[in-house]
């Protein structure tokens, strides 16, 4: 199971490497004059991958949170009709001999929000963490709300319109009364 984190700086890093190669071929090894993009601080907010599945009448939301201490660093709550999962994965502060560390595992704060159907009972929601996956079970969320038929009352029948010569007389009378 892997968490793919989109890196908005990957294209810039590739361009930086290609530029350094052009400089090296043209003027010799001068990479140190070009500041590497890895020195630019990266955003610390991440978005964990999630799957939403239907299991009978329940809806399951699986979030990949490997290495997270869920009892201490994760909250699951209902807020304004949405299920909100938020937390933080702290980074291990190990150092290498030359003081450089290269990390590909994500760390930082995260927040995921899922709209809830109206028929979800907040007391019927449970969460469980097992082997790096947080599973939130929304009991009964896959059951469509009951439909209720609403009777439609018919309007009273309109008054009968005059026919034939009476219709022309009624139309003339209506025109005369509106003109005055």
Domain boundaries, given as residue ranges, for the chain? 1-42, 43-93+102-144
> Is this prediction's pTM over 0.75?
no
CATH of domain 43-93+102-144: 2.60.40.790
Mean pLDDT by 10 residues, the chain (180 residues): 61 82 70 49 70 94 91 93 89 65 73 89 94 95 85 84 61 60
Cβ burial of 4 (10 Å; 0-12, 13-18, 19+) is: exposed
Closest-CA residue to 117 (of 76, 145, 86, 79): 145
| Alpha-carbon radius of gyration of the chain | 34
Integer Cα distance of 88 and 144 in angstroms: 34
């Amino acid at each position: 199971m892997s968490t793919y984190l989109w890196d908005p700086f990957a294209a810039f890093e590739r361009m930086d490497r290609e530029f350094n190669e052009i400089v090296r071929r043209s003027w010799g090894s001068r990479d140190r004059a070009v500041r590497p993009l890895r020195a630019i601080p990266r955003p610390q907010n991440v978005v964990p991958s999630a799957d939403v599945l239907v299991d009978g009448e329940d809806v399951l939301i699986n979030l990949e949170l490997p290495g997270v201490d869920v009892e201490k660093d994760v909250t699951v709550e209902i807020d304004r009709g949405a299920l909100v999962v938020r937390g933080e994965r702290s980074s291990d502060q190990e150092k290498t001999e030359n003081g450089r560390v290269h990390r590909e595992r994500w760390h930082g704060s995260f927040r995921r929000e899922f709209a809830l159907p109206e028929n979800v009972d907040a007391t019927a929601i449970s969460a469980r963490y097992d082997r790096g996956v947080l599973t939130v079970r929304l009991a009964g969320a896959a059951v469509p709300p009951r439909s209720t038929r609403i009777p439609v009352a018919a309007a009273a029948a309109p008054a009968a319109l005059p026919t034939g010569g009476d219709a022309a007389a009624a139309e003339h009378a209506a025109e005369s009364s509106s003109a005055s």
